[in-house]
Copies of this chain bind each other. A is one copy, B any other.
């Protein structure tokens, strides 16, 4: 009996690294690995498909950008029944802002999978957000709408979309925590340290203690973001007592 020669080692070597990396980011197994590879392919590589069409992540970015906007629109529609069309439009732009998507892409460390002829250190910040959108486009093409929605929910909405904060009602969770500690006469401490690990980007970790107890930990690409994230976690953990 003859098996195709690649059946036992279809994810070996470089492909295997990519497969593991992408599965980790997705939280599910990709079906068509090729389309995810395309989502990380920078135009500088100058690849063409079998018909001679240029192959890079830009077309998938176009698709993912649109799908991301739709899922966020649906979420806002459901979550804010009192918001009119103008409000929904404004909130969606905040969520899918370039800055926000770049942060997201950085946190997922997508750059480590990017294939490019330009050194990665030469890229501006936008590569992170662009590749994130391309990844959403790839999921849409590979697994369809449902997986896309799930991915955006898990990777964007749950960790990043805080409507109160986007509305400017909560400026900073750190200030809420400090205020509460002062009122309660409790000592607090933000212990920040560099924790880059194997990432290509510098990362910071923070442990927030109130009294003598560590109440929240977080990790991000800047000190300020790590502190804010830990504060938010602490805030929700303590919400009954703070509220």
Contact = CB atoms under 8 A, between A and B. Distances in A.
A66 B73 contact: yes
A51 B70 CA distance: 26
Interface string A53-81: 11000110111001101100110010001
A81 B51 contact: yes
A141 B70 CA distance: 12
Interface stretch (A83-91, A118-126, A230-238): A83-91
Contacts of A49: 81
A82 interface: yes
Interface centre among A73, A89, A146 (most CB of B within 10 A): A73
Chain multiplicity (copies): 2
A193 interface: no
A94 to B, nearest CB: 15
A61 B82 contact: no
Given A54-B84, A69-B66, A70-B66, A141 B59 contact: no
Interface string A36-61: 00000000000001010110001101
Contacts of A63: 73-74, 77
Interface residues of A, number: 28
B66 A85 contact: no
A85 B70 contact: no
A173 to B, nearest CB: 28
Contacts of A160: none
Interface string A133-158: 00001001100011000000000000
Contacts of A84: 54, 58-59
Given A51-B81, A66-B73, A145-B145, 8 more contacts: A53-B81, A58-B84, A59-B83, A59-B85, A59-B88, A63-B74, A69-B69, A77-B141
